[in-house]
Amino acid sequence: MPKYYARTFLPWILLAVVSGLDDRAGAAAGLAAALALLGQDLRRGHRADSLILEISTSVFMAALTALAFAAPGSPVLDYGASLAIGWLALTAWATLLLGRPFTAGIARRQVTAEIAATDVFRSINRVLTTVWAASFTVLAAALGCVQHWTPDATALLVAVKVAGFTVPAVVTARYPEAARRRHLTRLGLPLTEAPATSQPEPSSR
């Protein structure tokens, strides 16, 4: 998985792992990590549109932490994993509806303004964000089913999560270059030229 996404999903990983021991501790750990990462990125001067997932994660973790401490016995907490991924799905779809796919903000960290203004750059990021949004949606539904019917099947939960994140991660790593090559081929240009339409792998820097 690209470094950026591995770093961004750290709060969700902590939530999943620590919640297995205690819901309140898991929510608090996720919130602490989310706020720490968001604060670090803001200090580095990253634009808000490149921090959509971080901001969304912080909001969700704050709400979940409040619920965990206010109503520790709430049945809603039994579906923490599916709710978390569902929240990410809503976030991703919302950025598409608003015409600001979240992957574009991330990619702008690594390209020039001229590249970010191209139709190819925008097209690539619409595709990538759609892939992530669809994957989050399917994953949330699958996790909800597992948590409802076999809540103690830890191995199955882990397998579903791994599969759900692997597909969009692989697409993110490979699709931009494939799209760039198709674009250059249509223009009749050598594949080694015109890197202006390329999109590097997102970075945490």
The chain-wide mean pLDDT, for the chain, equals 85
Long-range contacts of 94-99, Cβ-Cβ distance < 8 Å, separation of 24 or more? 95/52, 95/129, 96/126, 96/129, 96/130, 96/133
How many domains are contained in the chain? 1
Q: What is the pLDDT of residue 18?
A: 87
Q: What is the mean pLDDT of residues 41-49?
A: 87
196 pLDDT more than 50: no
159 inside domain = yes
191 pLDDT more than 70: no
Residues above pLDDT 70, as percent of the chain: 90
43 inside domain = yes
202 inside domain = no
DSSP collapsed to 3 states, the chain: CCHHHHHHCHHHHHHHHHHCCCHHHHHHHHHHHHHHHHHHHHHCCCCHHHCHHHHHHHHHHHHHHHHHHHCCCCHHHHHHHHHHHHHHHHHHHHHHHCCCCHHHHHHHHHCCHHHHCCHHHHHHHHHHHHHHHHHHHHHHHHHHHHHHHCCCCHHHHHHHHHHHHHHHHHHHHHHHHHHHHHHHHHHCCCCCCCHHHCCCCCCCC
Q: Among 112-116, 171-175, 189-193, name the one with the lowest average pLDDT.
A: 189-193
Domain carrying residue 124: 3-197
137 inside domain = yes
71 inside domain = yes
Cα torsion angle, 129, 135, 138, 144, sign:
negative
Residues above pLDDT 90, as percent of the chain: 43
203 inside domain = no
Q: What is the pTM of this model?
A: 0.82
Model confidence over 150-179: pLDDT tens digits? 888 778 888 888 888 889 989 998 998 888
155 inside domain = yes
